[in-house]
Amino acid sequence: MSSGLPAIRLENITQRFRVIQERPDSLRELFSKFFRHQSQVHDFDAVRDVSFEVPEGQMLGVIGRNGSGKSTLLKIIAGVYRPTAGTVQVRGALAALIELGAGFHHELTGRENILLSGLLMGYSKREMLEREERIVEFADIGDFIDAPVKQYSSGMYMRLAFSVATEIDPKVLLIDEILAVGDAAFKEKCFERIRRFREADKTILLVTHAMAQVADHCDRAILLDQGSIMADGPPDEVIEIYKNSMLMEAVGAE
């Protein structure tokens, strides 16, 4: 049963990126810049003063157009970025599916990658060996499990990645877009697993452009626009607002 405490809490998160036009990438450029003028620098906030909480056991969909800050937000929660301002708290083990098989090494076999990505996520070798068979079974990619992952199709890659991330049994799961690949049968298997995760009161944060996924699976949705929260509430309502804003823009552009 949930403890009532939020699984994820974000307070006044801002992520500022410094965009330098033609950042000097080598010393030669640095010297030539030095003798001319300073390169133009401008800051932009990919995420601007965002605060929200996700209660334990909730499945939250994050939507918004490209560049609205969804993925940046996910990376902040995952701990990949340290935010410019604000605090992030995540209670319990976290698994992030930010990109297909992040942490997979092309030259290593599927089995070796299971271990390596587990270690990268902070699990011990023993914990990963205990889970190995179940991961292999769920991924269901046959003999390819002992072949280097560079020989995998993107679907196989994804199967293994999803299997690793969910079989390690995290309390909080972050998913970015990745369910867009894979065949229908495996997608169904993934959502079946997500349903079981929800029954087990795990917290899931899903970033996606597929509104149907949000409408069907999420308890709540957040709409991001230019790094700020534009709407937060029941999926149907938030999706409606999103669609209207897209429509308004399309009309306005004429």
Partner 1 sequence: MTELVRDTYRYRELIWALALKELKIRYKRSVLGFLWALLNPALLMLVLTLVFSTILRFGVPHYAVFLLSVLLPWTFFSQSLSYAVESIVSNGDLIKKVRVPKLVFPVAALVSNLINLGLSLIPLALLVLAIRHPFYWTWLYLPVPLLALVLFTLGMTFFFATANVYYRDVAHILQVVLSAWFYLTPIIYSLDFIPAHYKWIFKLNPLIYVINGFRLSVYYGLLPKAPSIAASFTCGIASLVIGFMIFRKYQDQFVFYV
Considering the complex, state which of residue 78 and residue 179 has its C-beta at the smaller distance from partner 1. Answer: 78
Confirm or reject binding of residue 124 to partner 1 (CB under 8 A): yes
**Six-digit token pair at 166?**
């969910």
Distance of alpha carbon 165 from alpha carbon 95, whole angstroms = 6
Amino acid at 64: G
CB 175 within 8 A of CB 201: no
Confirm or reject binding of residue 125 to partner 1 (CB under 8 A): yes
Window 129-168: contact mask with partner 1 (x via CB under 8 A): ----------------------------------------
First to last CA, the chain: 52
Candidates 16-24, 198-206, 219-227, 244-252; binding stretch for partner 1 (CB under 8 A): 16-24
**Strands (E) located in the chain:** 6-20, 41-55, 59-63, 85-90, 94-97, 172-176, 203-207, 220-225, 228-233
Q: Select from 1, 22, 25, 42 the one that contacts partner 1 (CB under 8 A).
A: 25
Distance of alpha carbon 60 from alpha carbon 48, whole angstroms = 19
Residues 61-90 within binding reach of partner 1 (CB under 8 A): 75, 78-82
Min dist CB 97 to partner 1, Å, is: 10
User: What residue ranges bind partner 1 (CB under 8 A)?
Assistant: 17-18, 24-28, 30, 75, 78-82, 96, 98-99, 102-103, 105, 107-108, 112, 115-117, 119-122, 124-125
